[in-house]
Amino acid sequence: MPKYVLAAVNNKSYASLSLLNDMNVPGSDIVMLPGTPEKCADKLSEIIQSLNPEVAMMFWQKPLNGVISIETMAGAPEIYKTNYDYADLANFLEEKGYSTKISTSPGNSFANIVYSSVLKFIMKNELSTRFLFVHIPVLISPSDLNALSHTFERFFRLD
């Protein structure tokens, strides 16, 4: 059983995929997911159920002017809240110089569908996996992306 499942959509034009490709976190499985929200949510739910990791974290990009957005809830009309204690991650990123936002609105399309579906699945199946959805900036240089990847690596190694 891996401690972490780290996930992104398998599309080479996405910054989130590059972020994961640069990461090396012992005790983790890095997962590339299909590109539609429904297939992505189904695949990630299946992986969480079969591997039963302590933590699953999904990375996606959003045009946020250099801000990392930690999503705390998703859904409509039913709202699902993360079961991950995100304060440590937010503080760690801030201490490393990253502008970080705690968000209660992952958007109204891809992120919201995936996040709410997976949180609902975890709750319905009474799984112990903690799940968090993190938006990284779309417009990020390769060197900044590499540095961010290594920052997440350091965080996971401390956890």
Domain ranges of the chain: 4-158
Q: Does the pLDDT at position 110 exceed 70?
A: yes
- Sequence-separated (6 or more) residues with CB below 8 Å from residue 159: 55, 88
Which is more confident, 81 or 138? 81
**Contact call for residues 2 and 28 (beta carbons, < 8 A):** yes
Quickly state the pLDDT bin for 158 (edges 50, 70, 90).
Answer: confident
Q: Does the pLDDT at position 57 exceed 70?
A: yes
pLDDT for position 101 = 95
| CATH top-level class of 4-158 | alpha beta
Q: Does the pLDDT at position 128 exceed 70?
A: yes
Q: Does the pLDDT at position 40 exceed 70?
A: yes
Q: Does the pLDDT at position 13 exceed 70?
A: no
- The pLDDT of 103-121, averaged and rounded, is 92
Q: Does the pLDDT at position 138 exceed 90?
A: no
pLDDT for position 111 = 92
- The pLDDT of 97-117, averaged and rounded, is 92
